[in-house]
Structure 1
């Protein structure tokens, strides 16, 4: 399968997102450092971004070339884990409120403590497929 986005474009996209996140993040919460830290007590327990990417792939929704960008992205954003692929960027947060705030400020798709950004090559119909499947995968 041919990637939907070139490696060079992916690196540029990651760099641009990191720069924008650093400039626009106003959270005073300290970043979490553990990749497998789950949601805080009382929050809906959902899978990690890595597991969601794997589940998307198993469900027939491509998420090729996953790369853990937690060390870069979660320094400037209060996320727990960040995974970027050729089709989606998935971040998890300690609370639903943090995820909602992050997603709303950026116009991103959010379910519970998970926020998903779609790569430019995904057309609206493809994005709708991901949007329909992600909540199902998160609650299995």
Structure 2
């Protein structure tokens, strides 16, 4: 299904999908903090409103960055997981973290993230490996 974008520019098209205030934070919480349910994601530090979270989850699902499955014990509850396409955003999440740590401290209190002084490729592999390990418990 072809989607409407502002232009054919890959940067613009990417921003149309993940450039809003919430999408990368949702992906961060899923990828790094292993949040899987609507409640877990909505309980993040940024306190996303339920209506916005619902809309963003639907958007991310429509672009195949995430998918949902039903909880076996509770058929009313969904578990949201990243697709390989969603997991491939790890380098962007890492770069945003590094850039924010280096450049935003003078404006606000930035949490110190352990291990950011490591080689980026090691960080990316560790984050992706940790997420894939968590997801394998659902297989």
TM-score (structure 2 length as normaliser): 0.30
| Larger Rg computed on CA atoms | 2
Q: Identify the structure with the greater strand proportion.
A: 1
Structure having greater relative contact order (Cα 8 Å, sep ≥ 6): 1
Structure having the higher helix fraction is 2
TM-score (ref. length: structure 1): 0.29
